[in-house]
Amino acid sequence: MRSKEVKEGVERIAHRALLKALGITDEEMGKPFIGVANAYNTIIPGHMMLDKVTQAVKEGIYSAGGVPFEFGVIGICDGIAMGHEGMKFALPSRELIADSIESMVEAHKFDGLVVVGSCDKIVPGMLMAVLRLNIPAIVVTGGPMIPERIGDRNVTISTAFEAAGMFKAGKLSEAELKLYEDFCAPYCGSCQGLYTANTMQIMTETLGMSLPYCGTSPCGSSRKLRIAKESGRRVVELVKENIKPLDYVTEKSFENAIRMDMLIGGSTNTVLHLPAIAREGGIRLPLDLFDEISRKTPHIIAIDPASNYTIVDLDESGGVPMLLRKAKDLFNNELTVSGLKIYDIAEKAFVRGRDIISELSEPLHKEGGISILKGNLAEKGAVIKSAAVPEEMMVFEGNAKCFDSEQQALKAILNNEIEEGDVVVIRYMGPKGAPGMPEMLLPTAAISGMGYERVALITDGRFSGATRGPCIGHVSPEAIVGGNIALVENGDKIFIDIPNRKIELKVSQEELKERKERWKPPERELRGYLAKYAKLVGPADEGAAFVD
């Protein structure tokens, strides 16, 4: 056991004394020491129940003969950080989370690890740490929020973001606006739809790093507590059997995760997170692999923002195991942390309510929910959630309207300065440019809420999973390093062809060359963590991870 380094031998008498100061007994000194990384806080709705989930994990560890040691992990609420300077810190927090967990585990030489988290950057950061450390470990995700209804429809946090535009357009009264404010986020849990948080919880289960049904079991449910307790027991077994994450998480496991993302039409942020996580295990996931798998994978379920169904409806339909069962032949039969292989889990899947998962023979779309576009406006690639794009906007040409900040663009949208047929371009929002690659949910929600039907949005930033419509992000190379998105001018024609994966700026090479010679990057004053992050971070097409 790794923990022998801090508890055995005469030279470790002071170490044992410090452990006894925590209440550790002589008998417990001989048991596996398990670190429990808990992202509980009282600022993120998805985390406000994690104290109870973590308690269940610790009870499971105790019951299996281990000794748990709980420590804290930071977490940023993307929704609360949205639309202001705080959003620049959301993606960078992923690296802080991974580094802090690594530091705690290595400093204290835990034998095993359980990470308990929820929401957008927390789960990816935790997964990065788990693969980097490669000690016996298991992931417990917090689960989705249960939705409320207004009228005959589920309302979600995406409804709340769009409500501002609806109010500005005269579609909602002040009383109705207040109703949305009060009921769009009514419980604990990750926001209800197939946004980044819930997508990543489903990815975690598909990778085999959490127990079956963990990804979709609602926050606050007794089922979630039972899964947490079972996870605590399981990590002690993993320590005793010396089973490590990279013994079962393989390149084929990541192909499974990508395929699941395409099957469900998940958040585009997975195109950042999965490569960054895989890299910690020595696995490379090129951007083209996402598109290759997308072209071969049908889209078989529509969840908010692509429909009015939520993750709770998916859980009723059998969750990840039922998705695996219905698309069994598409997945690699890899081992999981449970000790079962993917196909074994799929065979045991069951539906307990409505079934909103289509059959492979009758998909919603013949191709996957995310597409990778390339062209002179995104030579290294750009990403779009094609499953949430209306058919009439799959091919589109419009006039550029350029903004160098999210706030400028949002103001123009809400002031009716955007016209049908425009392509809103928001640049200097990339990993280095913002820095931190903030999400552009407020502008996209405003476009939807205002009722625009033929307006596209392009950015070197990224989008929330709650975004719908023709919104193209992750444009690489980004503007701050001289990517062609920096050279777009108002009135330029931009051509988007999602079926053929093209994004083209209709400007000649000669004109682009002349513009490049005149271009100068904007001056910025950076300090603190963002200054360090801007120096270390790599491009979006490689997962926006720190460059070695």
- Catalytic (active-site) positions: 464
Helices (H), 118-214: 122-133, 157-168, 174-183, 196-207
| Closest to 300 in 3D by CA, of 351, 349, 350, 364 | 364
User: Are 209 and 134 within 8 A, CB to CB?
Assistant: no
Q: Which amino acid is at 294?
A: S
User: Are 107 and 100 within 8 A, CB to CB?
Assistant: no
Q: Which amino acid is at 48?
A: M
Q: Tokens 């056991």 — which residue?
A: 1
| Closest to 546 in 3D by CA, of 272, 282, 276, 270 | 276
- Rounded Cα distance between 443 and 205, Å, is 32
- Rounded Cα distance between 77 and 191, Å, is 11
Kind of pairing, strands 153-155 and 148-150?
antiparallel
- Rounded Cα distance between 347 and 430, Å, is 43
User: Are 187 and 220 within 8 A, CB to CB?
Assistant: yes
The two structure tokens encoding residue 3: 């923990």
Length of the chain: 548
Task: Name every residue whose Cβ is closer than 8 Å to that of residue 85 and which is 6 or more positions away in sequence.
Answer: none
- Please, what is the angle between helix 196-207 and helix 270-280, to 10°? 40
User: Are 345 and 462 within 8 A, CB to CB?
Assistant: no
Alpha carbon distances (Å) from 110 to 20, 230, 236:
16, 19, 12
User: Are 154 and 308 within 8 A, CB to CB?
Assistant: yes
